[in-house]
Amino acid sequence: MLWGGRFKEELNSRALKFSSSLKYDINLLQEDIEGSIAHAEMLSSINILSNDECKKIVSGLKQISEEWQNNSWKPDAGKFEDVHSAVESRLFELIGDTAGKLHTGRSRNDQIALDIILWINKRCSLINSLIIEFQKTLLEISSAHVETLIPGYTHLQRAQPISLAFHLLAYVEMLERDKSRFYFIKNNLNQSPLGSGALAGSTLPLDRNYSADKLGFESPTGNALDSVSNRDFILDYLHACSVGMMHLSRFSEEIIIWSSSEWNFIKLSDSFTTGSSLMPQKKNPDMAELIRGKTGRVYGNYIGFASTMKSLPLSYNRDLQEDKEPLFDSSFTYEDSLEIINGMISTAAFNVKRFAEELQGDFSLATDIADWLVLKGMPFRDAHRIVGLVVQKCEKDGKKFSSMSLDELKSISQVFDESVMEYLDMNSELKKKKTIGSTNPQLVKERIDFWKKKLV
């Protein structure tokens, strides 16, 4: 134990098991050692540790790191409260009583805050690299499907025709916003809490600027009370994971729909699907379903920890130990989901001709015809009503737009002339879009080029 001098009895074994966070915060071992090395070197710089003592401590910490990485040392969760006590215990075994000097001027309160900040910093970089890989996959698929027609939807009803590339680029945009959240978190984790102590700083002449610089921070934090109780950055991180999972879940939902027999638009690889224990013919999009399902758990982690934080008085409370399980679970789940969805979509095959004929003359051209009438000088509300009458007549006669004759159109409005027939041709419809951000193939190609250059 790192405490106990004023206690006459040892902590109950069940209480130790209940209160131990080692099985979760063991994930912070490398960061704990990094922080401890910086702290030891700072203590040496202010002559609280001798050079030899500092070297001894640093050497011991590095050995613990190596032992952990090669699996020759594994602390017992039944013996230690947390990763800090496990590391310190092992350090005592390796270098003797000198290990007791490492905790000078430091509390587990500022120690754990530092460890988590260092861990999140690294994880933000990892997640953004995974997002970039997924974006690149979507861009490669988009490049091959600039003119692959699919129906675009609002209210899950066919709205206007778009291209598959245009659809996938929407997710590239979402993913970019996801990246920006992690960049924001990383950029804001630029102050070191190390040296804050338990809550009020230290009477020792600790050089907080020295340790902050050693660890790559811009400066030390400005208020010790806030430093040890601040977990806003974890909430920011959990929120970023939640929004990221939401985007993956939306895409997963579409993959599930697209892979159904009714849609018959995408065929998923055997390597990312499963079968049925009863029905031999089944090929299920389970990976997409699991991403969709795991999103709920990631949401729960955010809401759960936000609820933990909402009533905590300053400064540190043991409730904050509950920050690690949701943090690691959300991060690992999101990272895994990014890799899985990337593999799933990169190995999928698209039925390019699925909608080519079905959309020809489809009612999804209605807005384009209304726009044609507007270009002829008609107010849009009148154009909207007239095209609605055309749709009504088509439904009554069992026709599509493309099967309507010019005479039939003129029977509804004399404004119609031969040039409107071009607007009933799905093959040229996408090219008529003019606005920035539209599904016009040329604009889509330019957007693909933009992203490819940006993501190099």
Say what the alpha-carbon torsion angle 134, 140, 145, 151 is, to the nearest 10 degrees: 10
158: left (phi over 0), alpha (psi -120 to 50) or beta: beta
Select which of 72, 155, 261, 277 is catalytic. Answer: 155
Select which of 50, 276, 419, 428 is catalytic. Answer: 276
pLDDT for res 7: 57
Q: The tokens of 331 are what?
A: 């991060």
Distance CA 53, CA 407 (A): 97
pLDDT for res 400: 86
Query: pLDDT, tens digit, for every residue of 148-203?
Result: 999 999 999 999 999 999 999 999 999 999 999 999 999 999 999 999 999 999 99
CATH class given for the domain over 363-454: mainly alpha
User: Would you call 276 a catalytic residue per the annotation?
Assistant: yes
Distance CA 379, CA 115 (A): 64
Q: Which of 13-22, 155-164, 350-359, 396-405 has the lowest mean pLDDT?
A: 13-22
| Crossing angle of helices 108-143 and 164-188, rounded to 10° | 160
User: Would you call 438 a catalytic residue per the annotation?
Assistant: no
Distance CA 442, CA 155 (A): 28
Give the Å distances, CA to CA, from 368 to 14, 107, 224, 374, 415. Answer: 71, 67, 62, 10, 15
pTM: 0.93
Q: Which helix (H) or strand (E) holds 356?
A: none
34-47 per-residue burial string, b: 16 or more CB within 10 A, e: under 16: bbbbbbbbbbbeee
Q: Which CATH architecture has domain 13-104?
A: Orthogonal Bundle (1.10)
Residue spans per domain, the chain: 13-104, 109-206+219-350, 363-454
Whether residue 163 contacts residue 147, with contact meaning beta carbons closer than 8 Å, is answered with yes
Q: Which fold has domain 109-206+219-350?
A: Fumarase C; Chain A, domain 2 (1.20.200)
pLDDT for res 3: 44
What is the bridge-based pairing of β-strands 349-350 and 266-267? antiparallel
**Alpha helix stretches (DSSP H) within 144-274:** 164-188, 208-214, 224-229, 232-258
Residue of 16 and 394 predicted with greater confidence: 394
pLDDT for res 78: 80
Beta-bridged to residue 219, according to DSSP, are 191
Distance CA 131, CA 167 (A): 17
Query: pLDDT, tens digit, for every residue of 116-152?
Result: 999 999 999 999 999 999 999 999 999 999 999 999 9
The number of beta carbons lying within 10 Å of the beta carbon of residue 312 is: 13
Per-residue pLDDT, averaged over 41-62, amounts to: 98
Distance CA 12, CA 30 (A): 29
pLDDT for res 17: 78
Amino acid, single-letter form, for residue 396: K
